Amino acid sequence: MPANPATRYVYLGPEGTFSEQALRLVSDAPGHRPVRSVPEALEAVRAGTADAALVPLENSVGGAVGVTLDEMIDGDPLMIVREVVIPVDFVLAARPGIDLAAVRSVAAHPQASTQCRGWLRRHVPEAVVIDVLSNGAAAQAAAKGEQDAAICAPIGADGQSLVRLAERIADHPDAVTRFVLVSRPGPPPAPTGDDVTSLAVYISHDRVGALLSVLTELAVRGVNLSRIESRPSGEGLGRYVFFLDCAGHVGEARLGEALQGLRRVCADLRFLGSYPRHRWAGGDDTEPVVAPGLTDADYAEAARWLEGLRAGRPD
């Protein structure tokens, strides 16, 4: 689907941010539209004025992007069809002719300056950091000469014709941001053998027992968890929603059985999509291994056996 040049995408703007950089990995066709906020992006998809939206889901430093989670479960169903994980690859950029020693002011989004705090202290200890509203706005401020330099995404520096004074300046060199491509519901992408399924699970009480029940439904079917976040459901105290990322695909037997179990025991459950796990180009990611007894073939064999018992033909 992403290869279709006619697909109309929206993404969290402004231009020149990591969101645009992530969208380039999905489609390099022109004409994708930046929007001002995550709610606006998802509303465009719900309303049909866009086919899909690329929005941030979590940042390895800043954590979950709450507004994305909330907007996914508030309103008509939407479906994640792809994830894109990109390094948080901050650069310090300036107009041509300014070098590092001359930098006295740095425009930066507060989250960006927080992530580069150690680097700034070591390399430009005298510089004042001036807060701006986005990484794109930081690049613009440097381009206009409002500040000497900017912390921004590489794509933002390039878009404003800035020179990179330093690259990879984030204190956590492995920091990444995870974006998701969201569309209206439809049949999920085909299983690849290494997929993620995202869920929003409502439980009635803030009890370890209720959460244990949820995890046990997954564990019994050998479904691993790669992320869990609790959030108040907004419907009053004592009602929680948990966002889970599980290994597996809705089309697989073991995940299907686990989903049915959650459907039966949870106060509510929203399926947010099954999609291929992001794989790094040239990475050494290994295929996940399904535990003995939990493959689709094992499920089929057990179903056949049960049918035999019910018909009076044990083996």
Classified as helix, coil or strand, 116 is coil
Q: Is 250 in the site for a copy of itself (CB under 8 A)?
A: yes
- Please, are residues 106 and 119 in contact by the beta-carbon 8 Å criterion? no
Q: How far is the CB of 25 from a copy of itself (least distance, A)?
A: 19
Interface map 50-89 toward a copy of itself (x if CB under 8 A): ---------xxxxxx-xx-xx------x-x----------
Looking at residues 284 to 303 of the shown chain, list those that interact with a copy of itself (rule: CB under 8 A).
293-294, 298-299, 301-303
The interface region with a copy of itself, picked from 16-24, 98-106, 145-153, 220-228 by CB under 8 A, is 220-228
Q: State which residue, 32 or 221, has the beta carbon closest to a copy of itself.
A: 221
The interface region with a copy of itself, picked from 2-10, 22-30, 160-168, 172-180 by CB under 8 A, is 172-180
> In the set 49, 75, 102, 110, which binds a copy of itself (CB under 8 A)?
110
Q: Is 105 in the site for a copy of itself (CB under 8 A)?
A: no
Q: Is 128 in the site for a copy of itself (CB under 8 A)?
A: no
Looking at residues 224 to 243 of the shown chain, list those that interact with a copy of itself (rule: CB under 8 A).
224-232, 234, 236-237, 242
Interface map 184-213 toward a copy of itself (x if CB under 8 A): -xxxx-----------------xxxx-xx-
- As given in the structure block, the two tokens for residue 134 are 């986005």
DSSP letter (8 states) at residue 162: -
Cα→Cα distances 254→38, 81, 152, 224, 291, Å: 33, 20, 43, 11, 11
Q: Identify which of 69, 67, 73, 27 has the alpha carbon closest to the alpha carbon of residue 50.
A: 27
Separation CA 37–CA 143 (nearest Å)? 24
Task: Check residue 145 and give left, alpha or beta (phi > 0: left; psi -120 to 50: alpha).
Answer: left
- As given in the structure block, the two tokens for residue 116 are 């580069």
